[in-house]
Structure 1
Amino acid sequence: MHFVEVAVPVPLRQTFTYSCDILPEPGCRVSISFGPRNLVGVVTGELTAPENPDKIKAIDKIIDDTPVLDRVLLKLCHWLSQYYLHPIGEVIHTVLPVLLRKGESASPVDEVWWHAADNIDENLAALKRAKRQYACLEALVDEPVREGDLKNTFPSTIINALEEKGFIRQESKPPPLRPKMWLDYFDVAKKPLPDKEQAVAISTIVQSRSRFAPYLLEGVTGSGKTEVYLQAIEDVLAEGRQVLILVPEIGLTPQTVSRFASRFGIDIGILHSQLNDKDRLSVWQRARAGELGVIIGTRSAIFTPMKFPGMIIVDEEHDDSYKQQDGLRYHARDLAVMRAHTENIPLVLGTATPSLETLNNALTKRYGHLQLTKRAGGASKTHQQVLDVRDQRLQFGIADGMLSIMRQHLSMGNQVLVFVNRRGYAPALICHHCGHSYDCRRCERPYTVHRTQQRLQCHHCGGARPIPRQCEHCGENKLITAGVGTEQIEDGLAKMFPGVKQIRIDSDSVRGKDKLQRSLDDINAQKYQLLIGTQILSKGHHFPHVTLVVVLDCDGALFSADFRASEKLAQLVTQLAGRAGRASKPGEMWLQTHNPGHPLLQDLVHNGYAHFARQALDERKLSWMPPFQSQAVIRSEATNGELAWEFLEQVRTLLQSEVVRLNGPLPCLIEKRQGRYRFMLVLQSAQRKAINDLLRRALPNITSLPTASKVRWSLDVDPSDFS
C-alpha cells in the first residue's frame, strides 16, 4: 500500500492524502472521491507515514501512465501557489488544458485533415466568382491541410460551404508527433541585414542561448524588434530547441504567425482563447512531444510544456493583458522569468514602452538592457504635438483646427487614425430639461449609449435596456447624449468628410472569428482612409499608410486616483504614435487636451517615453511606490456594503505588523459593480517576503472569520489594477 499527496481543484490551501496499490509518479492525474463528488486530481508526491492510514480513502483510478505535468511545470505550480498564495489544486487546474481537467486521455487525439475532392480543375472553374472559396480550395490542391491550420486562414463558413458542394472532404488520422519534426522543413528565407543596434542585440542574445539570461529589448516603435526575435531564435531552432512567444492580444497572433512561418518555413503552434478545447489540447500535445519548434500564444500559453526548451520571448511586455484579473491572479511576464530561470534558457522582454518594473530591473542590472533607438528602414520619428482645445468649437469631439490638419493628410492620399478610448455612441444619456442621468442601478454608473443597437448598455456588468423616448423623471422628450464614443465619431466624420471611406475598430465592430484580421488587411490595402478606434488599434499593428494620429480627450488619465494612470497613458500615447510614419512617409500625432501645459504631456511630447519613464521611476522611489515597494490587495464585495467593509476591518486587525503598512479599508475605484459594493485593503512593504509571510500566517484565520463566508473576497499579489 502506498500513500500520495493529491492536489484537488477546490478552494482549500492544502493537498489531500489518498492510498493506492500502484505508486503513480508526481504529475500524473488520478480520479478520486472528494466528499460526494468525483474529481480529477494531480499527484504531487509520496507520503511515507500518514496519520490514521486506515481512514485514508483509496484512489479510484490512475488516469495517466506518465506525468502530464513534467518536473519543471510541477515546480512552477508550487511556486505559483506559494507566491500568489493560491490553492495548489486550483493552480494545477488552471495550468492544465480544459479536456485534461475533465479526465480525458492525454494521448494524442486524431486530427482532422482536409483534402481536395476529385475534378479539381472543374471545381476551381465553378468557384471563379467566389474568391474566398476559390482560395480555400486552391490551398488544398497540392496536399491536404490540418483543420486547425486551415481554420487559421479561412472561416468555418467557407470550409463548410465547400464541403456541402462536395469540393473538399475530411479525413481523421492520429498525429505522428515526431520530436524535432520542424528540422525536416527548416529553411531560413532571405532576411534583411540588421542595422548596428539590431546586430548588437541579436549577437548578445545568441551568445547566451545556453543559459538563463533575461533581457529587456527596449526599442522605439517601428525599430524592428520582431526582426531581432526572428534572427535571435534562428540558431535555437537549428539546434533542435523550441521557442515560446507570448503576445498580448489575439489580434496580433495572425501577423506574428505569418512572419515566423514565412521566415522559417515551419508549422507554428498557436494558442489563444478563440481555439476550441480540442485544438488547444492538440497544440499542447505537439509542443509537449517536441514536434513544434515555435509556439505563439496569449497569456495562458506560458503554461505550454516544451520537450526541448530553448528560449522564451514576451512581446509588448508592458501590456496589462498579461495580468490575470480573476481566479489565479498571475502575471504571465513574471511567470516567464521564473520559467526561463527554471529551464535555464534566455528570456527576451520586448517593448517600446517598458513597464516601470521591468525598466527598473534593467537599470539595476538584474536584466540585460538592449536598446533600439532608430526606426527600421530609415523611417522618421513621429512628430508629436499638443492641441489646446480650450475655447475651440468641438464637432463630434474634434476641434476645428484638427479638422483642417486631417483634410491636408487625406488630400495627399494618406490614412488618418482617430483614437478615442470609448466604444459606443456616447458615455452618458441625460435629460436636457431636468438633468436626469440614466444610470445602471447595479453599478451606479451611467449607461453607455449604443445608437446602432438602439440600447443603453452598462460596460461594467453588461446590463442593457432600450433607449427611452422621453425622460422617465419629468416626461420631457429632450434626451441628449454627453461625451463622444467611436460610433458618434464615425457618424460625425461621415458628415464632415463625405466620400472618404472609413472603418471603425472596437470590440463591438470586430466580433466574430477573423473579423479583426480582415479589417486590418483591408486597412493596409488602403480600402479605407479614415480609421476610428479604441486601444485595439494601438497594439503593434503595422499601418504603412497612416501619417496622422489624432488622440481625443486624453485628459481623464491625467487626474486619475490610480498611481499607474500616468504610466499607462504615456504607454498608450507612445504606442499610438508608433502607428504613424512607419514607412517612407513621415508621421505626426496630435493630442487634443484642455490641459496643454500638464507636465506629463509636455515631457512626452518633447522628451519621449524613455525620459518620462526614468522620471516616473524617480517619483515612485520618492513616494515609496512600486517597483520600490511590494503590494498585495485583499478585496471584498457584497450586496451589503457594511458587511464587506466589516470583513476588511476584521482582516486589518489580524494583519497588524511593524514591517507591513496597511492602507484601508478603501472603496475600490469602481465602488459598485453588478449590484455589489466593493472595498479593498492594501498591504505595502519594501520587503516582499514580509508581505508573503504575514499573509501566509493569517490566511487560515481570515478564512475562518464569521464574515468571510458572507462576502466575496479575494487576494491579489502585485496588483496592476485598483478598479
Structure 2
Amino acid sequence: MTNTDIHVPTVLGVALPTPVRRLFDYRPNQDGPPTGWRPGQRVWVSFGRRELVGIIIECRQYSELPASDLKPILAWIDDAPLPADWLWLGRFASRYYQHALGDTLHQSLPARLRQGRPLAARTQERWHLTDKGKGVRAADLGRAKRQGALLELLHQHPRGLVHSAITAQGFTREQLEGLRDKCLAYAHAEPVIEAPRPQHILAEPALTLNQEQAAARAILHEGLDSFHPCLLHGVTGSGKTEIYLQLIEAVIKRDRQALILVPEIGLTPQTLTRFRRRFQVPVVAMHSGLTDTERLDAWFAAMSGRAPVVIGTRSAVFTPLARPGAIIVDEEHDTSLKQQDGLRYHARDLALVRARHHGIPIVLGSATPSLESLANARSGHYRHLRLTQRASRHAPARLELVDMRGRTNRGGLIPGVIDTIEATLRAGHQVLVFINRRGFAPTLACQSCGWMAECSHCDARLTLHRQPPLLACHHCEARHSLPDACPDCGSADLRPLGAGTERAEETLADLFPDTPVHRIDRDSTRRKDALEHTLNEVRRGTPCLLVGTQMLAKGHHLPHVTLVVVVNADAGLYASDFRALEHSAQLLEQVAGRAGRAHHPGRVLVQTLHSDDPHLSLLAEKGYEALADSLLEERRVAALPPYRYLALARFESPREGDVMALADTAAQAVKARLTDQAHTQCLGPVPAPMERRQGRYHVQLMLSSTHRSKLHEASAWLIDWLDRSSQARRVRWSLDIDPQTLS
C-alpha cells in the first residue's frame, strides 16, 4: 500500500442523526476537501429519500458492502475537521450512555451547524478614524453637520465603534461612507465576539477572602496543571462564587479558558452580569434562551479561544475549548444537570470525564452536595473543601418545624405564620413564601359526591388555574375549561382543594393589601426577561412578599429577605423514588438559604403535617450533612447508588398489553443471561410511578450492578436484544444510564 493510498481512503464511515447505533459507509466523491478527507469533517449525504448532514468518523480502505452498493458523498462542508476535544467527548458520551453516535454528535452541535451552515465566525464592521481624521474636528466639515457629529463620536472612542453601535446613535451608512470618501474614517471586519486585548484582566478588584475561602483558593491554585476534582461544600451565602471568580482569574492569566456550568437558565443572567462586571475579557453564554445565531457565535468564540470564560447550562458541557484551563459545576447536586430524554447524559459527570481527559482541575460547588459527590469526597476521590461561614457573618438559618395538624389555614398559611409574616414586613424586611406547586389549587373537587377533576390522559389530577381560568395537566399540558357543575352528580358546589402559587398570591394580597406581592413561577415568567425584571424590583429593598416555586430556591441572592415560609414540606417525604428524600432535603436547605444573606439574621418556618418524621427532624436539628450521613448508610444497606450502579429501561405504548408483554419478555431474557453473574441483577418489570402519562402506559426494568463495566455489558446486551426483537417495534423504549429519577 502506498502513502497515496493511505491519504485517499476508499470508504468513509459517517455518523448520521438517526437512532441506529452504527456508522454508514459512503464513497468519497471526486471533489473532496483541499486538505483531504479526515475524521470530524461534516458532509452532505443521501440517506433514503432525504439529504442529511453527517460527520466522518472513519477513513478506511474497506467496507463490508460491495463498492458498487456504496453511495457517494454529495458534498463536503468543512475543510478542517470539527474540534478534536468535542469529537472525543461526543464519542465517549455515546459509548457511556449507550446512545447512537450520530444522534449524540448531532444533539451536541449548535443548530446552525446541524443544518450544514459553514463553520465560520460571523463578522461585524468596526469603524476607526484615519490618521488624517484624528487631526480633523467637526467644525472643519462646514455644513456637513451630521458627518461632523459622527466624527466627534469616533474621536470619543479611540478603539473604534462597531457599526450597530453607530447606527444606534442615529447615524446612517451614508454618513459613514461620506467620512470614508473624505479619507477621515475606515472600517475593518472583525468577529462578533472579538479576542481580548485588555491591559488588565479585572474590571473591578477581587473581594477579600476570609480564612476558609483563602484556604480553599490556595488548594485550587495548587492544582492548576492537573486533574484535580474538588467538592466545594459551602453553606448558602458563604462566598463560593468569589472563589470561582478568583480561580478563573488565575486561569485567564495563564492564557487558558474556564467553563462554568449552572443548572438553570434563570440563573444565567445574574451569573453573566457578575462575571462580566469582574472581567475585561469576553464572557459568553451558552443556553437555550439564545437565538441559533447567538449560540453559534458563542460556540465559535470558545472553540477559537477568543472567549476565555464560557458560562452555560447542561448542554454547554459539549462546548469546545481551544485552551481548556478549568471547569466549574455550580449547584452540582441539581437534577437539571441531567438530560431526561434523548441522550440522557449528566453534565456534571461528563464535566468530570472531560476534566480528566484535559488534565485540568474541576470544582463541584454546592451547599447540599449530592450523595454521590459526598461519598467520593469521603473516600478521597475528591478533595473536600468546606466553607462553614457566611459572608454576612450571620449563621445560616435553621429550619423551624411548624405543626399544621388541626390548624385552620388561609391559602395554605396557618395563623401563627401569618402573624410572623406581618411582624417581618412591619420591620421593613422582605418575606419569601415557598410553595412548589403552580396554579391556584392542586385540584377541583365536588363537595356533594367527592368527584375530582382528573386528566383523561394521565394518572394525575388536573390543576386549577385562575390566570387564565382553566384546568390544566402539568404532565401532558392538556387544557380544559372550568365545568359549571359536577359531571357526576350535577352539583354546582365545586371547590378548590389545596393551595398553589396563585392561591397563595391572592391570599397574601388580601392579608397585606399595602404590600407588593411578586409571584415567580413558570407561568409568571414566560415573557423574556420577566424573571430578571421582577428580581431587580425585589433587590431595591422595599418591603414586599415573594411567592414562588423552586425557581426561587436556586442560587438567587435576595439580600433583604429575612423570613422564608415553606407552605408544605411533606410532598417529597414519602414518594416512591428512592432519591425523593435527598432531593426534598436539598430543596428545603436551598430555599432556607435565601433568608438572612445580608445585614439581618434570617428565620425559616417549615409548615408540615409530619413534624415528628425522623428524617425531617434530623434535617431541622442537625442540618443537611447529618441527614446525608443517615441516607448514605440507608443506601449502603439497601444496595443503592452510590454503592451500586443502575440502568433503567423504560417502555411505553398506548396499549397496556404490548408494553407489559415486551417488558416481561425482555426481563426473562436478561435474567437468563445473568444467571451465573452474582454482581449484576435485573429487577422488575414494574409499572412506572405514574403508569399512564400522555395517553401511554409506562413500565420499567432496572439493571443493578456492583461493577460499572458489568452494568454496561448487560445494558449493551439488552439494547442489542431489543434492536433485534420484533415485539420492540410496537413499543417505544429507552435506556437511562445512572438515572436520577424513576418517574
Query: What is the TM-score of this pair, normalised by structure 1?
Result: 0.92
Matched, 1:49 2:62: yes
Instruction: Give the structure 2 partner of residue 696 of structure 1.
Output: 716
SS in 2 for 1:475: coil
Alignment correspondent of 1:186: 201
Match in the other structure for 2:680 = 660
Distance 2:241 2:100 in 1: 37
Letter in 2 for 1:720: Q
Partners of 1:179 and 1:718 in 2: how far apart?
40
Task: Select which of 445, 451, 467 maps to 2:482.
Answer: 467
Match of residue 659, structure 2, among 641, 644, 647? 644
For the structure 1 residues 445 and 698, does the alpha-carbon distance in structure 2 shift closer, same or farther, using more than 3 Å as the test?
A: closer
| Residues 324-363 of structure 1 aligned to structure 2 (within 5 Å) | 324-363=339-378
Residue 585 (structure 1) aligned to one of 579, 587, 600: 600
Amino acid at match of 1:28: Q
Rounded to whole Å, the distance in 2 between the matches of 1:527 and 1:585 is 15
Cα shift at 1:380:
2.7
Within 2, Cα distance between the matches of 1:501 and 1:514?
A: 19
Say if 2:13 is the partner of 1:13.
Answer: no
Counterpart Cα distance in 2 of 1:464 and 1:181? 50
- Alignment partners' CA distance in 2, 1:122 and 1:609: 62
8 Å contact kept, 2:443–2:464: yes
Letter in 2 for 1:80: A
The aligned amino acid for 2:47 is F
Residues 1:496 and 2:504 aligned together: no
Query: How far does the alpha carbon of each residue in 1:360-394 deviate from its partner, in whole angstroms, 9 at most, with x for none?
Result: 11111111111101111423321321001111111
The one-letter code of the counterpart of 2:732 is R
Which residue of 1 is the match for residue 76 of structure 2? 62
Pick the aligned partner of 1:102 from 100, 115, 140.
115
Report what 2:707 is aligned to: 687
Partner of 2:386: 371
Q: How does 1:482-631 map to 2 (within 5 A)?
A: 482-527=497-542, 529-631=544-646
CA distance in 2, matches of 1:182, 1:352: 36
Match of 2:87 among 64, 74, 79: 74
Equivalent residue of 1:439, what SS?
A: coil
Which secondary structure does the structure 2 equivalent of 1:445 belong to?
coil
C-alpha change, 1:493 and 1:665, in structure 2 (3 Å) is same
Deviation per residue, 1:256-314 (Å, 9 max, x gap)? 11211111222210111111101100111111111011011111111111111111100
Task: Choose which of 654, 667, 672 in structure 1 pairs with 2:692.
Answer: 672
Partner deviation per Cα, 1:205-233 (whole Å, 9 max, x = no partner): 11111111111100000000000101112
Do the aligned partners of residues 603 and 111 (structure 1) sit closer, same or farther apart at CA in structure 2, a change above 3 Å counting? farther
Relative to 1, partners in 2 of residues 1:629 and 1:108: Cα closer, same or farther, differing over 3 Å? same
Deviation at 1:541, TM superposition (A): 0.5
Provide the residue aligned with 2:246 in structure 1. 231
Letter in 2 for 1:72: D
Whether the 8 Å CA contact 2:127–2:188 is kept in 1: the answer is: no
SS of 1:595's equivalent in the other structure is coil
- C-alpha separation between the residues in 2 aligned to 1:449 and 1:179? 50
| Residues 314-367 of structure 1 deviation map (CA, whole Å, 9 limit, x = unaligned) | 000000100000000000000000111111111011010000111111111111
- AA aligned to 1:551 is V
Q: Secondary structure at the match of 2:39?
A: coil
State whether structure 2 residue 436 is matched by structure 1 residue 416: no
Q: Which moved more, 1:238-247 or 1:471-480?
A: 471-480
**TM-aligned CA distance change 1:496 to 1:716, over 3 Å:** same
Match of 1:96, SS state, is coil
* CA apart distance, 1:36: 1.8
Partner of 2:276: 261
CA distance in 1: counterparts of 2:190 and 2:394, whole angstroms: 45
SS of residue in 1 equivalent to 2:601? coil
Task: Report the equivalent of 1:395.
Answer: 410
Change (3 A) 1:264 1:592: same
Task: Flag the structure with larger Rg.
Answer: 2
The residue type paired with residue 37 of structure 1 is R
* SS of residue in 1 equivalent to 2:513: coil
In 1, the alpha carbon distance for the partners of 2:641 and 2:148 equals: 64
Check whether the contact 2:397–2:596 (CA below 8 A) recurs between aligned residues: yes
Counterpart-to-counterpart distance in 2, 1:584 and 1:380: 12
**Quick one: which amino acid aligns to residue 75 of structure 1?**
W
In structure 2, C-alpha distance between the alignment counterparts of 1:708 and 1:47, rounded to whole Å: 34
Instruction: Give me the whole-angstrom Cα distance separating, in 1, the residues matched to 2:454 and 2:126.
Output: 51
1:76-475 aligned at under 5 Å gives the runs: 76-111=89-124, 144=161, 174-176=189-191, 181=196, 183-184=198-199, 186-187=201-202, 189-475=204-490
The 1:543–1:15 alpha-carbon spacing in structure 2 relative to 1, beyond 3 Å, is same
1:532-581 residue CA offsets vs partner (Å, 9 max, x unmatched): 00000000011111111000111121111111011011101110111000
Paired AA for residue 109 in structure 1 = R
1:550–1:177 Cα change, 3 Å = closer
- Report SS of the residue matched to 1:655: helix
Q: Distance in 2 between matches of 1:201 and 1:550?
A: 33
Where 1:642 maps in the other structure, the secondary structure is helix
Q: Distance in 2 between matches of 1:256 and 1:280?
A: 17
- The 8 Å contact of residues 179 and 290 in structure 1, kept in 2 or not, is answered as no
Q: Distance in 1 between matches of 2:357 and 2:203?
A: 30
Deviation of 1:72 (Å): 1.8
Cα shift at 1:705: 1.2
Q: Assess, with a 3 A threshold, how the Cα gap between structure 1 residues 145 and 376 changes in structure 2: closer, same or farther.
A: farther
SS of the residue 1:558 aligns to? coil
State the 1:613 CA deviation. 1.1
- Secondary structure at the aligned position of 1:667 is classed as strand
Which residue does 2:732 correspond to in 1?
712
- Contact map agreement 1:177 1:291 (CA 8 A) in 2: no
Cα deviation 1:424-455 (Å, max 9, x = unaligned): 00010111111111111011311101112011
**Which stretches in structure 1 are left out of the alignment for 5+ residues?**
124-138, 151-158
Structure 2: give runs of 5+ residues left out of the alignment.
1-7, 129-144, 151-155, 177-186
Distance 1:584 1:143, change over 3 A: farther
Secondary structure of the residue aligned to 1:446 is coil
Return the alpha-carbon distance in structure 1 between the equivalents of residues 120 and 699 of structure 2: 46
- Relative to structure 1, the CA distance from residue 628 to residue 643 in structure 2 (aligned partners, 3 Å threshold; closer, same or farther) is same
Q: Percent of aligned pairs with the same residue?
A: 41
Which residue matches 2:134? none
The reply on whether 1:722 has 2:742 as its aligned counterpart is yes
